[in-house]
Amino acid sequence: MAKDIWQGVLDELDGSPEEVKAIRLQFAHHGWCDLFIGFVQALEAYGKVVEKVPDKAKEIIAEAICGSSKQKVRSELTKRVVDMVVDKAWSAFKAAAITHTPLFALLSSEDLLRNLRIIAIFICPAPGNHKEVLEHAVDPLLRDARNYISDETKQWLATQFKQWADGVARPAVPDSREGERRSEGAPPKRPPTE
């Protein structure tokens, strides 16, 4: 989806190759995770039934990108560019929902919302430093009513994201071999420093 959306935007952009490259690089700076957070917010606002979400939801998605805490360093990512990205992404999203693409056909509204949150976390270059991803993806997943995430995993994830935000080495995954070595008194492994 992202490849087709971005190619469509590139085809419509005016400007020199350097200007287009700057836009592309700035969108890569948390633009995709902001886009998915926008979809999450739109589905929350309109009841999570994709087929019934009005096109007005595009405004919510565009605002998620333009109003992001990461937008201050994305001067080339203007409202016009954001609107083009959102329009193309929204069209692809609605088309997939209406044609019952397997992704949508197999998911309930809650499952779709959960998956959008997970995607936002996984594509975010620094989820622990991205306020909107923490607020609209990480926190709701940790509070998931279906209890897909155990209390131990919730605690580990909270520590993980806190340490990502603080730039500290990551803790061992609960019940992993590294965790066993740690409990035997061996020092924890630290990732290589850059």
Least confident of 59-68, 168-177, 178-187: 178-187
* Assigned domain for 60 exists: yes
Query: Is 184 inside any structural domain?
Result: no
What pLDDT is recorded for position 79? 94
pLDDT, tens digit, 9 for 90 and up, residues 68-108: 999 999 998 899 999 999 999 988 887 776 665 555 544 56
The pLDDT tens digits for 36-50 are 999 999 988 887 666
- pLDDT at residue 55, as a whole number: 80
What domain range includes position 117? Answer: 2-125
Burial of 109-140, coded b for 16+ CB within 10 Å and e otherwise, reads: eeebbbebbebbbebbeebbbbebbbebbbee
Number of domain units in the chain: 1
Residue 170 lies in a domain: no
Confirm whether 135 is domain-assigned: no
* CB contact set of 127 (below 8 Å; sequence gap of 6+): 33, 121, 133, 134, 137, 138, 161, 164
Predicted confidence at residue 178, as pLDDT, reads 39
- ∠ CA 1-36-56, nearest 5°, is 95
Whether 166 maps to a domain, the answer reads no
Q: Distance between CA atoms of 35 and 10, rounded to whole angstroms?
A: 17
State which H helix or E strand residue 159 sits in.
helix 151-166
Q: Are 65 and 82 in contact (CB under 8 A)?
A: yes
Structural domain contains residue 148 = no
